[in-house]
Amino acid sequence: MNERKPIPFMRVAPFAIAISLTIIVLGIIFYALKGGFEVGIDFKGGYRAEVAIGQSVSVGEVRSVFKNRGIAANVTTVGLVTDNRFVITVPYEAGSDGIALIRDVLTQVYGQDKVQIMGTTVVEAKVGKSFVYRALNLIWVVSLIVLLYVVIRFDFSYGVGAILAMAHDLFIMLAFAVFMRIPIDITIIAAILTILGYSINDTIVVFDRIREKKQLAKEENFLMVIDQSVTEVLDRSIITSLTTLFSAVALYIWGGEVLRNFSFLLIVGLISGTYSSVMIGSPVTAGVRMLLTKEAK
């Protein structure tokens, strides 16, 4: 039998874990410095208008138009720069009409026929929270179900490994959300849930192979079994991440503004999810097993 030579993954695992922890700790530091996540108007309330302007203007010009009038507006470009399309948000204020404010300011500067409002959103300040919190709670429910299944189907040590791999991906994605100042909204939660599903899927493919190989080996050689198994499923892991990345990148480039942050976090999560099955889930499982056998002695 010509088995492939195992790649010594477990030897580099400690460094990998250190890198992951660094990213997560950086994320926490950024989180503390910036005073939490960027939140979308879904969450904190506000007025949001997507506008098209019928002449060439830069995003900086639009920003200063609002700034000069003392309005705390947030302006970003949508699509190509040549489209001259912008998303403008202003904070919520009871009793005022932020959309009318945006429209009035822009028509004053660019003229009525040049300003076209494509879409608007108004969220009152207190509405968003309950919805987002409820969605976040789902993450715990899903994790619990996964843990239960893995514990029943494999054993406790794999369950811990799988859950920590999932937690890793969650924290890495949240860290990138903080770095990139991506506002947390409902699409971002959908991205997180997608990745959790993907991550567990990937982890189980690796674990399945480890379990299969383990039947032929002694407990002491568990780390070697991991290396051997990961090497064998490596091509599958890479190919599946690749084909899924094709989709995520396609969404990032062509999916439009609404899906941009969503697909960015998907790309981060896909890489993290594939990596964590090998570098987090497997060594953690090995560690838990070592602790358990020591205790048994």
Partner 1 sequence: MSKLSRFVLLVFLVALSLWGMWPTLQWYFVLPEETKELVKISEEEMDKLSPELRKQVLDIKALRKKVMNLGLDLQGGANLLLEVDQEELKAQLAEKGGDTLSENAFREELDKATERATEILKNRMDTFGVSEVSIAKTFDGRISIEMPGVSDPQLVKESLSKIGRLEFKLVDEETMKKLRDLGVPMVGDAVMSLQGLPTNFTLPSDSDWYPWYENDDYGIPHLRGWYVLKKETVLDGTYVESARSDMNPTTGQPVVSFSLTLEGADIFADVTRNNIGRRLAIVLDGRVKSAPVIHSEIPGGKGEISGRFTYNETEFLANILKAGALPVRLNVVEERVVGPSLGADAIQGGTKAVLIAILAVVVFMVIWYKGSGVIAVIGLVFNMFFLFAILAGIFRATMTLSGIAGIALTVGMAVDANVIIFSRIREEMKRSHNFRHALENGYKHASATIWDSNITTFFAAVALSLFGTGSIKGFGMTLGAGIIANMFAMLFVTKLIYDFLLDTLKLKKVSV
Instruction: Build a one-symbol-per-residue string for 168-197: x at contacts with partner 1 by CB under 8 A, - elsewhere.
Output: ------------------xx-xx--xx-xx
Is 225 near partner 1 (CB under 8 A)? no
Q: Which stretch binds partner 1 (CB under 8 A): 6-14, 58-66, 141-149, 174-182?
A: 141-149
Least Å distance between CB 239 and partner 1? 5
Is 155 near partner 1 (CB under 8 A)? no
Q: Which stretch binds partner 1 (CB under 8 A): 23-31, 106-114, 259-267, 278-286?
A: 259-267
Which residue in 17, 155, 232, 271 binds partner 1 (CB under 8 A)?
232
Does the CA dihedral 255-261-263-267 come out positive or negative? Answer: positive
User: Which are the contacts of 274, defined by CB distance < 8 A and separation ≥ 6?
Assistant: 202, 237, 238, 240, 241
Provide φ and ψ at 266, rounded to 5°. Answer: -65, -45
Give the integer Cα–Cα distance in Å for 72 and 86: 15
Is 1 near partner 1 (CB under 8 A)? yes
Two tokens at 52?
A: 């098209």
Q: Residue 85: in which H helix or E strand, if any?
A: strand 85-90
Q: Which stretch binds partner 1 (CB under 8 A): 12-20, 171-179, 203-211, 213-221?
A: 203-211
Q: Which stretch binds partner 1 (CB under 8 A): 59-67, 219-227, 237-245, 281-289?
A: 237-245
The backbone region for 75, taken as left when phi is positive above 0, alpha when psi lies in -120 to 50, beta otherwise, is beta
Could you tell me the end-to-end alpha-carbon distance of the chain, in angstroms, rounded to an integer?
Answer: 36
Least Å distance between CB 56 and partner 1? 19
Beta bridge partners of 116: 52
Closest C-alpha to 288, from 89, 151, 180? 151
Is 271 near partner 1 (CB under 8 A)? no
Judge contact between 192 and 265, C-beta under 8 A.
yes
36, 46, 241 from 174: Cα distances, Å:
11, 23, 20
106 or 146: CB nearest partner 1: 146
Compute how many residues bind partner 1; rule: CB under 8 A.
66
DSSP 184-218: B-HHHHHHHHHHHHHHHHHHHHHHHHHHHHHTTS-
128 or 283: CB nearest partner 1: 128
Give the integer Cα–Cα distance in Å for 160 and 165: 9
Instruction: Build a one-symbol-per-residue string for 18-57: x at contacts with partner 1 by CB under 8 A, - elsewhere.
Output: --------------------------------x-------
Judge contact between 232 and 209, C-beta under 8 A.
yes
Which residue in 242, 291, 292, 293 binds partner 1 (CB under 8 A)?
242
Is 134 near partner 1 (CB under 8 A)? yes
- Residues interacting with partner 1, by CB under 8 A? 1-2, 50, 117-124, 126-127, 130-131, 134-135, 138, 141-142, 145-146, 149-150, 153, 186-187, 189-190, 193-194, 196-198, 200-202, 204-205, 208-209, 212, 232-233, 235-236, 239-240, 242-248, 250-251, 253-256, 258-259, 262-263, 266
